[in-house]
Structure 1
């Protein structure tokens, strides 16, 4: 039982239904100083119900609550502070992790589906750092939700439709070189895309021509479809290679084009429900509380993102029967997803409430926004290569005799990029700094990986076996080990909070705190010395290693056993 539940149940016994166990759990706070206890209950929430001052409520409860499971329970002003029974807590936490291993805190499967729209790079454009955030945030959320009992369905909603393809077709027909594109497809297509966008700024006819080609594409024009298919196939080869590097797999690669033949049904439903109106020749759905209506079809009949996203939402609900549907898409699309939900609600689909936009901030370089259209991008594949090289150089310097150096360097380099992204709260962007990412010092992925590897080295030297350790003494008495125990005990709450707030950074920050706590303990404690606490110290190291590895796994980061 975790400490919050223990305290909540103890309190609920004496509150006669004034607050439920869940209510109490949510109200509990962690004091800023350990001298003030391990958990604190603010009595303010009971003042109105009990018609007493919070200080008096706290004092009365302190006298009533049995100290059986606690060192002591003390009223401190309007707070009731709980000091846990350290010996009992240490033994319980270590025994649970020794028994459960990587399944520590994993919840029973309820099997509900959760659809996660993620990554979604644009066809015929290189995979850049800008696409990384959606990819790694979505992948981490899938792992987090799987741990708490959901069945995640990862959907790569490829940007393989839209006016941009009209623009690319115009560029190819004007100055494309088939031989050059077949030799180096993505680089050449990017060059064409940047060139045509630059020219269109001064030549409005290019934009008109691009719209005409996209309309041809939507209407099934043979030449347009053949060019589009070629661009798409070449792009997927590169994308697959990068996803393999990142260790990310998908359950669906249905992009925008998949819904091209499904949009007529959406338009028909909207029409049947009397939701469509005309505005300047375009077909729209008027929305209360929005500055602009939802544009379903342009005046030339071409569809838009929202038309395809309405089709996708309905298809996913029918196909996956999702309990939740997440869209891991940049913050700049917030207005689009508000409109999407509003239209679905007007269509009578209450499950629109189960759709969540999971926004995130931008990645910048030297404080400047990145833009594929302007040719200002940081390509992911060479970035991964450089990160792996830097990791390998550090490994060569620290441990030149390490076996499987190439594999470890890859795990560290890729893990460094992912971790650096995920340690930032979603809505906060960050400035790209590869040197800082791959550092073995500071709040980085390699720092956490190295702490895990150090623990594995200790356990190998001791020939540690968890099944043997569980029968021995599991009592450690120093303050630094208690700090680790409290972190280990908090892991399930951290995972639950990460899922509830769609925030993998909660786990990344937790992993950093746990690694720092262990390194501090390691610096002051001779874990392998023979004494009464040796078994418990090794068990503590093992438990820390288990939770560090599981934290990294939930972030999509490998945990090498040697570095």
Structure 2
């Protein structure tokens, strides 16, 4: 039981003593706050909601409540205006928190909420024959972090890469390749050459609109199984996946299920048939739609007037396939904010079809990756290629290592861990719905709120453990070991880690953990600067090194949940 839960139970019992019977501990815990200044206490309870029941002013209630609160883990309770401020017993809490973290290690903060049930997570999903740009980074890293967080709470994530491998753009690409392409060039640099052809098609189509018709014709051939169209499509797909795999390996991201839109081509007729059987299809201007008026949503388009199916049909087929294949507890779609309406319609259509499991499907939207404040565009060739960003980040970190620590044994591996980590962390420290502006300066500095700063703090703490010849030690620890405000700030933050992981899971928000590890790193560096950790007294040194070890464990685990590695030397 957390200290907040323990405090909430004591407060609920005291409120009952004052004559208010229907004020349970769960309600109290939801009201608890953290005082803005640590000197005012560790936990604060506002008394405003009790004023009506007790017919007294909140400050008077606080004055009556405070004397009723005592006993572990509390050291003191004080009325401050309308609040009761609670002070925890620092020596007891320090010993309990450090012992718990160092014994549980990476399992600290874990829960078995999911009981092994599967959670398919639709993430990354780049388009075949287009480059893996910074615009694709967000879905990949947000989805991967959410998968790690769900796994920590006992779910079995199924990472799905639903690649864009179907649609009119392939007809356009076939036209471009047949007109201006070269097999040698595509083999040499598949993504760059296919992108060049795709951009050239749109430039030429502005001068010759007939090219658009040719693109549609070739896609129709592809749909009809034309051997040449099929061969070129398969080749573009295979070459693209090889390139994507290199980037995923660099990022440490792997998938359990890699199937594109084409995989569902033979599964859409079943959806149309089910919709017809349930009498949900209506005709609108020659097209077939599902009406969603009762949800204040526009109709969901299932079939065009020419009989062609659409994204919605395909995603309905994919949803049904995933439920049958994985029997999921939840299904998550980490897809940009601009697709919000599509997913609202998708989930409502599934509910209208009578699938109760559709209520456990969630769209996890995110903002755009901007360059100089503007959206990136593949069609116009205005993209920042992720592979190039990683290469540059790794090279920049290697340069810093050569300057600062040329004797480092595994320079290349550390440069990769820090360079790639810098790019990932730059995204995940931001709340996912916010747009992120691509910035080298912000990303790669070893100071401030960055991945390299947190990784460097972890390496510094590991170095301290080596230097101090760290050995595990049992509590009780000397009272003066943690009597500084810097040590207490670390202990209360370590204690909060399970709550932070809870919140990150509930809100599908990895930035909760991003902000947390920055906070913990900053607090450790203050402790490092102001407290003599390697003290002359053996008991003090041993106790403080236990705290350093606890910081190492939680920083490493926090970074792991975000998809970053934690070098022990930098």
| Same topology, TM > 0.5 | yes
Give distance in 1, aligned partners of 2:125 and 2:66: 55
CA contact (8 A) 1:99 1:470 kept: no
Report the equivalent of 1:453.
Answer: 459
Give distance in 1, aligned partners of 2:13 and 2:115: 30
Give distance in 1, aligned partners of 2:233 and 2:310: 18
Pairing partner for 1:331 from 310, 326, 337: 337
Give distance in 1, aligned partners of 2:202 and 2:305: 23
Structure 1 position 66, deviation (Å): 2.6
**2:84 is equivalent to residue 84 of structure 1:** no
Question: Relative to 1, partners in 2 of residues 1:50 and 1:325: Cα closer, same or farther, differing over 3 Å?
Answer: farther
Give distance in 2, aligned partners of 1:34 and 1:455: 24
Describe the SS at the equivalent of 1:278: strand
Give distance in 2, aligned partners of 1:309 and 1:31: 47
How big is each residue's C-alpha offset from its partner over 1:438-470, in whole Å with a ceiling of 9 and x where there is no partner?
11111111100111001111101122122x355
Describe the SS at the equivalent of 1:13: helix
Report the equivalent of 1:200.
Answer: 205
Report the equivalent of 2:101.
Answer: 97
**2:374 is equivalent to residue 396 of structure 1:** no
The alignment's TM-score, normalised by the length of structure 2, stands at 0.95
Question: Relative to 1, partners in 2 of residues 1:220 and 1:439: Cα closer, same or farther, differing over 3 Å?
Answer: same
How big is each residue's C-alpha offset from its partner over 1:484-517, in whole Å with a ceiling of 9 and x where there is no partner?
1111011011111111111111111111111011
CA contact (8 A) 1:124 1:235 kept: yes
CA contact (8 A) 1:366 1:432 kept: yes
Report the equivalent of 2:70.
Answer: 66
Give distance in 2, aligned partners of 1:277 and 1:220: 30
Report the equivalent of 1:148.
Answer: 153
**2:35 is equivalent to residue 31 of structure 1:** yes
The farther-off stretch of 21-30 and 235-244 is 21-30
Pairing partner for 1:303 from 297, 305, 309: 309
Report the equivalent of 1:465.
Answer: 471
Question: Relative to 1, partners in 2 of residues 1:55 and 1:219: Cα closer, same or farther, differing over 3 Å?
Answer: farther
Describe the SS at the equivalent of 2:86: strand
**2:404 is equivalent to residue 405 of structure 1:** no
Give distance in 1, aligned partners of 2:117 and 2:297: 36
Report the equivalent of 2:551.
Answer: 544
Question: Relative to 1, partners in 2 of residues 1:91 and 1:356: Cα closer, same or farther, differing over 3 Å?
Answer: same
Pairing partner for 2:427 from 421, 428, 440: 421
Report the equivalent of 2:141.
Answer: 136
Give distance in 2, aligned partners of 1:176 and 1:444: 42
Give distance in 1, aligned partners of 2:223 and 2:137: 29
Give distance in 2, aligned partners of 1:420 and 1:173: 41
The farther-off stretch of 231-240 and 282-291 is 282-291
Pairing partner for 2:225 from 217, 220, 223: 220
Describe the SS at the equivalent of 2:482: coil
Give distance in 2, aligned partners of 1:215 and 1:56: 78
**2:6 is equivalent to residue 6 of structure 1:** yes
Give distance in 1, aligned partners of 2:204 and 2:250: 35
Give distance in 2, aligned partners of 1:203 and 1:268: 40
**2:505 is equivalent to residue 481 of structure 1:** no
How big is each residue's C-alpha offset from its partner over 1:137-156, in whole Å with a ceiling of 9 and x where there is no partner?
01111111111121111101
Residues 501-520 of structure 1 mapped to structure 2, 5 A cutoff: 501-520=507-526
**2:207 is equivalent to residue 184 of structure 1:** no
Give distance in 2, aligned partners of 1:331 and 1:426: 10
Give distance in 1, aligned partners of 2:243 and 2:296: 40
Pairing partner for 1:159 from 164, 173, 182: 164
CA contact (8 A) 1:98 1:470 kept: no
Give distance in 1, aligned partners of 2:299 and 2:168: 21
Give distance in 1, aligned partners of 2:565 and 2:6: 34
Structure 1 position 472, deviation (Å): 5.3
CA contact (8 A) 2:268 2:314 kept: yes
Q: How many residues align?
A: 562
Show structure 2 runs of 5+ residues with no match. Answer: none
Report the equivalent of 2:563.
Answer: 556
CA contact (8 A) 1:388 1:414 kept: yes
The farther-off stretch of 447-456 and 10-19 is 10-19
Q: Superposition RMSD on alpha carbons, in Å?
A: 1.7
Pairing partner for 2:391 from 372, 379, 385: 385
CA contact (8 A) 1:122 1:158 kept: yes
Show structure 1 runs of 5+ residues with no match. Answer: none
Report the equivalent of 1:124.
Answer: 129
